Structure formats: structure tokens, C-alpha cells
Amino acid sequence: MFPSPCLSDSLLRLSLQSRLWQSLYALLSTGCQVDSFPCTLSECSRCAASLSRVLWDRLVLTGDFCEKLFFLSLLYDVETGTAWVADRKKTERWERAFEEAAGACFAETEAGDNLLRIRLCRCLADYFYFDPSPEEDDWFLFLRGTVRHWAATYSPATGWEGLPLSDALERVEVINRYSYMFLDPSADRVTAAAYDFYSRAAALSPVPDYPLWSLCHALALEGHALLLEPDRAARIVSRLASYARLHPEDGDMALCLLSCRMASLAAQCDLHLAADY
């Protein structure tokens, strides 16, 4: 009944499973239940642990640094997002793996402003999140300098010229994450403007683009410098559901729809709990 990860899964399927288990764990932790997807908190934790093992295996097997950083981001999210208390051994294992990957690709990343840099910066934000004095580290200074460079080079008329749509939205997610984690609002206005610019472009996509729609859905619910937009997220879910009815054989579509629905439910639950207080 539950999605089962395997080594042959695409990056998309692994990403969607990560988001599913994080959202479901957040829901179940508040006492909410999902009648359409019965699952206990312990079952959710076991499924997340199974996904984590596959992600570690894929991390070791790939020689592509962009993929390595992608897997490290998923690992960070699924291992911190499906546990009440941080596991120090898991954290240290993740930090060692990141240091090895970052050390090997840092020179290449400094030479170009591409997807590799975006994914490195996302991992850097996670790496320094609980550091009491990150400003003393050159890697953090690289992260901060990159975020400020992205903000300075954004154009309201053309966005980041030449940057693919999906990469631009990943960049928006990283800037927003950096601002939240390190309490640096200097790029918040650009973050909001870029999100609006690129999410409108994504809405015009004439064909199903599951990674793009999943990312747009996540950003619509992320908040902080971005406007919290549950209605926009609901429209994405509705669009996915329409495609799913036309193509019931499409497993990626079904998983994308499920993960987005669970994320929307988790966000709704958070809003209701906040309203109660």
C-alpha cells in the first residue's frame, strides 16, 4: 500500500517520497489522521528509514556531484523531518558526507553559477543551520555572497536571464531557506518577486512537469519571505488530479499527486493549530 523505494527509482520518485513521508509525519505528530491514507506514526517512521537507506546507497553509487548534493538535501530533509529529536550519529554521518562532496566539487562550483551551485548552497544552509558563529567559515561566506549576488542580479523584467525555469525556482527556494535559517532578510523582496515571476511562468506549462509542479506546490506553502498561498497549492493539486484521471497508469503522476495532497493537508493542519493559539 505504501510507496516502496528502490535503487532504480528516479530522482523524481525519491524526491516525492521524501516529501510524502515528511508531510505525513507532520500530520500524524499533531494527532491528525488521513482516512484516505491510513498510516500510523511508527509506520511512517519505518517508511522514512527505508527511504533513507536507499538514498545513502544512491549517494555512494553516483559519481555526479549535482546528484550527490541532491541526495544529501533529501537525506537532510527526511532524517530531520521524520523525527522528534535530532539523532547525533545521523547528523555527523551527513556532515561527513557533505564535507567530502563539497570539498571535491567546490572549485568547480566557484567557476560557474549553475544548478551545481544552487544545490551546493542548499546543502551549505543545512550544514551551518545550528552553527553559533558561521561567519567565521569561508564556506558560509561563499553561501552568503552567492545569495546576495543572486539578489543583485535579478531583473523584474527578465528574471535571471538564461536560467532555466526549474533552476530558478530551486534558487528561490534556497534564498528563502537561507533568509529563514540565518535571519538575513536582505534578499526577501527579491525572493518574493522572483517567486511570483517564475511561478506564473510555471503555470503556463502546457504539459505535465511533475518536478516543476511539485516544487511550485512546495513554494506556495513555504511562507517566510514568500506569500503563503494555500489556494495556489490547491489549484496545482486540482490540475494534477485532472491529469491523474486521464492517465491512471502514470505512477509518477499518482505519487506526485499523493505527496502534494499530504503536504497541503499538513499545511492546513498547521494553520488550524496556529489559529487555535
Element of type H or E holding 275: helix 251-276
Contacts (Cβ under 8 Å, ≥6 apart) of 85: none
Long-range residue pairs from 109-113, CB within 8 A, at least 24 positions apart, any chain = 110/142, 113/146, 113/149
- Residue 209 pairs in a beta bridge with none
Q: Alpha helix locations (H) across 153-250?
A: 165-182, 188-203, 210-220, 230-246
Report how far residue 186's alpha carbon sits from residue 87's, in angstroms, rounded to the nearest whole number: 32
Q: What's the average model confidence in pLDDT over 151-177?
A: 96
Q: Which of the residue ranges 23-37, 77-91, 154-168, 226-240 would you say has the lowest mean pLDDT?
A: 23-37
Report how far residue 129's alpha carbon sits from residue 22's, in angstroms, rounded to the nearest whole number: 19
The proportion of the chain whose per-residue pLDDT surpasses 90, expressed as a percent, equals: 76
The proportion of the chain whose per-residue pLDDT surpasses 70, expressed as a percent, equals: 97
pLDDT tens, position by position, 243-265: 889 999 999 999 999 999 999 99
pLDDT tens, position by position, 11-31: 999 999 999 999 999 999 888
Residue 155: the pLDDT is 97
Which pLDDT band holds residue 33 (cuts at 50, 70, 90)?
A: confident
Which pLDDT band holds residue 272 (cuts at 50, 70, 90)?
A: low
pLDDT tens, position by position, 217-234: 999 999 999 989 999 999
pLDDT tens, position by position, 103-121: 999 888 877 778 999 999 9
Encode 53-117 in three state secondary structure.
HHHHHHHHHCCCHHHHHHHHHHHHHHHHCCCCCCCHHHHHHHHHHHHHHHHHHHHHHHHCCCHHH
Contacts (Cβ under 8 Å, ≥6 apart) of 191: 151, 172, 175, 176, 179, 225, 226
Cell of 185: 532578510
Residue 21: the pLDDT is 96
Q: What's the average model confidence in pLDDT over 155-162?
A: 95
Does pLDDT of 164 surpass 80?
A: yes
User: Which amino acid does the sequence have at 91?
Assistant: T
Residue 104: the pLDDT is 92
Mean pLDDT of the chain: 92
Q: What's the average model confidence in pLDDT over 44-50?
A: 94
What residue ranges do the domains of the chain occupy? Answer: 11-268
Instruction: Report the chain's terminal Cα–Cα distance, integer Å.
Output: 36
Cell of 74: 533529501
Residue 162: the pLDDT is 93
Report how far residue 130's alpha carbon sits from residue 232's, in angstroms, rounded to the nearest whole number: 32
- Residues belonging to the chain: 277
Q: Phi and psi for 249 in degrees, rounded to 5?
A: -85, -10
Mapped onto helix, strand or coil, the DSSP state of residue 155 is strand
Residue 276: the pLDDT is 60
CB atoms within 10 A of CB 277: 4
pLDDT tens, position by position, 53-73: 999 999 999 999 999 999 999
pLDDT tens, position by position, 172-182: 999 999 999 99
Report how far residue 78's alpha carbon sits from residue 48's, in angstroms, rounded to the nearest whole number: 7
Report how far residue 122's alpha carbon sits from residue 119's, in angstroms, rounded to the nearest whole number: 5
